[in-house]
Amino acid sequence: MAGRTAIGLDIGTSVVRAAELSYGRGGITLERFGQVVLPEGTVHDGEVIDPLPVAASIRQLWSATGFSHSKVVMGVANQRVLVRQLELPYMPPNELRASLPFQVQDFLPMAVDAAVLDFFPIEETIGENGGRNLNGLLVAASRDTVLANVQCAERAGLSCTSVDLTSFAVLRSMGRHTGPDIETEALIDVGARVTNVVVHSAGVPRFVRILLMGGQDVTDAVSERLGIPSQQAEGLKQQLLIADQGTEEFAAVQRAVATTAQEFVDEIRGSLDYYAASSPGSPVERIVISGGGSRLEGLQERLASSTRLPVLAGDPLSSLRIGKTGLDDRQLDFVKPLAAVPVGLALGAI
């Protein structure tokens, strides 16, 4: 393994997963990938609420996967993270950073000193008074939610070198493929409870939305409709394609999945419509999906028909070399949609 490596650690609602990348002259190599399923209820809608079992799962992940060190970059995406477009008077980067708390305190849903703030410039614009402005994305995360993730890693014996917005990790691992034919695309990472939507042009983020919905909502609907435990509903949902299609049970599962998937697609469409109205000059030309929830049977087709855009499954591993990960081709194929976040977090540490 090369000397210089970075590890991205993603605490999701259902799973903790991590990817280790090494950097060399020949490019970037995936050295290790692993994941451990979290005990139910320990992470709620992307927020750690029961740190001890989460830390234990991270420890288990480290001992099972054999990462080469214990320094990690982590992600954060939940209800207490806000991302919005903002136009500020132009100023040099360090001045901007220093003045950010005063500039944004009126928009925040939390006290400014309870938030971790960042601003990502997109483009310079000319304001109404003819002065230079800076248009960009404001990120404000509740300090508590960031600390909860960091402390989980520390309890597991790791040290966290930085915390990144999960949507930006998705952008880094999947948003490198726009070219002359596609200028602007939407990346959508569908988790169990959290869906990250990022619209970007050639890697520059234009719009970010963190939606509290995902594959678990579909499972919950199946579970409720059929009056069965969640685990059984999860199995039925995942096996929709190979199920015995003549049965009443199949029809009921199919209806529950269809209704929830359509609600989900409508929500995504609403976000993209909002983006389109606020940025008419850079329309989304295609959608690239990732995350475990993106595997739902029929989701890609529904999304395509609702948005009238091409929808494809993203591959965060496509521009990486594959090292001695211990995973065979079939396993790597399974990992693909799940790796967008941890790979993107590790890429941020270059």
Ligand X SMILES: Nc1ncnc2c1ncn2[C@@H]1O[C@H](COP(=O)(O)OP(=O)(O)OP(=O)(O)O)[C@@H](O)[C@H]1O
Residue ranges that bind ligand X, judged by CB under 6 A: 12-15, 46, 191-194, 214-216, 219, 234, 237-238, 291-293, 295-296, 338
Nearer residue to ligand X within complex by CB, 214 or 314: 214
Q: Residue 307 binds which one of ligand X, Mg ion, none, with CB within 5 to 8 A depending on kind? A: none
Q: Residue 73 binds which one of Mg ion, ligand X, none, with CB within 5 to 8 A depending on kind? A: none
Cα–Cα distance measured from residue 41 to residue 54, given in angstroms and rounded to the nearest whole number = 10
Least distance (Å) from ligand X to the CB of residue 252?
A: 17
Binding piece for Mg ion, criterion CB under 5 A, among 171-179, 184-192, 204-212, 223-231 = 184-192
- Pick from 322, 325, 318, 324: nearest CA to 340: 318
Least distance (Å) from ligand X to the CB of residue 94?
A: 34
Least distance (Å) from ligand X to the CB of residue 190?
A: 7
Least distance (Å) from ligand X to the CB of residue 253?
A: 12
- Judged by CB under 5 A, the residue of 8, 75, 191, 293 near Mg ion is 191
Least distance (Å) from ligand X to the CB of residue 13?
A: 3
Cα–Cα distance measured from residue 113 to residue 101, given in angstroms and rounded to the nearest whole number = 8
Q: Residue 293 binds which one of ligand X, Mg ion, none, with CB within 5 to 8 A depending on kind? A: ligand X
The amino acid occupying position 85 is Q
Cα–Cα distance measured from residue 223 to residue 230, given in angstroms and rounded to the nearest whole number = 5
In contact, 72 and 9? CB cutoff 8 Å: yes
Cα–Cα distance measured from residue 225 to residue 221, given in angstroms and rounded to the nearest whole number = 6
Q: How many residues does the chain have?
A: 350
Nearer residue to ligand X within complex by CB, 136 or 314: 314
Nearer residue to Mg ion within complex by CB, 191 or 314: 191
Cα–Cα distance measured from residue 171 to residue 323, given in angstroms and rounded to the nearest whole number = 23
Least distance (Å) from ligand X to the CB of residue 122?
A: 25
Helix crossing, 230-238 with 248-278: angle to 10°?
80
Least distance (Å) from ligand X to the CB of residue 237?
A: 6
Q: Residue 237 binds which one of ligand X, Mg ion, none, with CB within 5 to 8 A depending on kind? A: ligand X
Residue 231 is encoded by which pair of tokens?
Answer: 């685990």
Beta bridge partners of 187: 198, 288
Q: Residue 295 binds which one of ligand X, Mg ion, none, with CB within 5 to 8 A depending on kind? A: ligand X
Q: Residue 296 binds which one of ligand X, Mg ion, none, with CB within 5 to 8 A depending on kind? A: ligand X
**Strands of 166-285, DSSP E:** 184-190, 195-201, 204-211
Nearer residue to ligand X within complex by CB, 104 or 150: 150
Q: Does 12 bind Mg ion (CB under 5 A)?
A: yes
Least distance (Å) from Mg ion to the CB of residue 280?
A: 31
Nearer residue to ligand X within complex by CB, 183 or 220: 220
Nearer residue to Mg ion within complex by CB, 170 or 186: 170
- Pick from 50, 8, 59, 2: nearest CA to 26: 2
Q: Residue 178 binds which one of Mg ion, ligand X, none, with CB within 5 to 8 A depending on kind? A: none
Q: Regarding beta strands 81-89 and 132-142, do their DSSP bridges make them parallel or antiparallel, or are they unpaired?
A: antiparallel
**Strands of the chain, DSSP E:** 5-11, 15-24, 27-37, 43-44, 47-48, 71-76, 81-89, 115-126, 132-142, 159-165, 184-190, 195-201, 204-211, 286-290, 311-313, 321-322
Residue with the CB atom nearest ligand X in the bound state: 191
- Pick from 217, 164, 151: nearest CA to 190: 217
* Element housing 318 (H / E): none
Nearer residue to ligand X within complex by CB, 34 or 291: 291
Least distance (Å) from ligand X to the CB of residue 117?
A: 23
Contacting residues toward Mg ion, per CB under 5 A: 12, 191
